Amino acid sequence: MASGFFALLDDIAVLMDDVAAMSKVAAKKTAGILGDDLAVNAEKASGFVSSREIPVLWAITKGSFFNKLIILPIAFLLSAFLPWLVTVILVLGGLYLAYEGAEKIYEYIVPHAHEKENLELREFSKEEILAMEKEKIKSAIVTDFILSIEIVIIALGTVVEEPLTTQILVVSIIALIATVGVYGIVALIVRMDEFGAKLIALNDKEDSVSDKIGIFLVSALPWVIKGLAVVGTLALLLVSGGIFVHNIHFLHGMFDSIPGIVVEFLTGLIVGFITLLLVVAIKKIWKTLQ
């Protein structure tokens, strides 16, 4: 009886070791898309009135948890009954990531003329502010849903050959990190300026240490968000390139003499711009047919 109990504990310990090891691998694979998730959500969660930033972020976080509750069971069912489909979805997700990264680079190199909104300068009512806030929260949750699918599928792709129990534990851990970790950091980022303002108002002395730190935090916020956007774009291309190199047979091992990170980045960049050209061409053809 006792030996059976200790054998069970030993099995659990081995399983936890496997889960911990596979979780590290999955975390590395999804680090790029998590960086993009962080950049996107930091941008979407900023721009609100100071008193509404945390409530809005909490609403988006709850939506993110709900997204994971929808995506995870579907992903595990696919892994159990149609495991080959996981690789297909992974490659399709790689195409989307490569396209998104290439599009961001293209828009930076070739700036687009955006339509300017001619809004009257007026005070909005409380109902109008809440309606706009609700719309922005909805947009953020939809974006989170798309990124969550990518994160879950990439994580699942790293453990698709493992037993189902290991898959469930590893992917669930990554999904939890993706929500708690990302939105926790976003909360710190969007409150940087508020914390800086409090440091500036901490005392009446001019040019004090608290003033310098406060001014730095307030002025750094826009740059931090822009920096995250750049890192997120590079990460998109690296992650997508890694998906293609490791999941498309003829690409695997083709460029062994070149550092892997260079191969993955260039692969993501080339595939991204090819996909971008195809999308642009399809849009133009569609417009001519209408």
Contact present, 224 and 216 (Cβ < 8 Å): no
Residue-wise pLDDT tens digits, 87-100:
788 788 888 888 98
* pLDDT, mean of residues 179-188: 83
Q: By the 8 A CB rule, do 98 and 237 touch?
A: yes
* Per-residue pLDDT at 167: 82
The lowest-confidence range among 6-15, 52-61, 146-155 is: 6-15
Give the pLDDT score at 2.
47
Could you tell me where the beta strands, DSSP code E, fall in the chain?
none
Q: How many CB atoms lie within 10 A of CB 156?
A: 26
**Percent of the chain predicted with pLDDT > 90:** 6
User: 111: pLDDT confidence band, cut at 50, 70 and 90?
Assistant: low
pLDDT cut 70: percent of the chain above it: 73
Mean pLDDT of 163-177: 84
What's the mean pLDDT when you consider all of the chain?
A: 76
Phi, psi of 289 (to 5 degrees): -80, -20
On the question of pLDDT at 223 being above 80, the answer is yes
CB atoms within 10 A of CB 158: 23
Q: Residue 251: pLDDT band by 50, 70, 90 thresholds? A: low
pLDDT at 49 over 60: yes
At 272, list the tokens: 């991204």
The per-residue pLDDT for range 65-82, each reduced to its tens digit, is: 999 999 899 888 887 888
Side-chain half-sphere exposure of 270, counting CA atoms within 13 A? 10
Average pLDDT over residues 176-186: 83
Confidence check: pLDDT of 211 > 60 = yes
Q: Residue 216 pLDDT more than 70?
A: yes
User: Which residues, including other chains, have CB under 8 Å from residue 95's CB and lie 6 or more apart?
Assistant: 240, 271, 275
Residue 146 exposed, middle or buried by CB count within 10 Å (0-12, 13-18, 19+): middle
Cβ-Cβ contacts under 8 Å for 28 (sequence gap 6 or more): none
pLDDT above 70: residue 237: yes
- What pLDDT was estimated at residue 240? 82
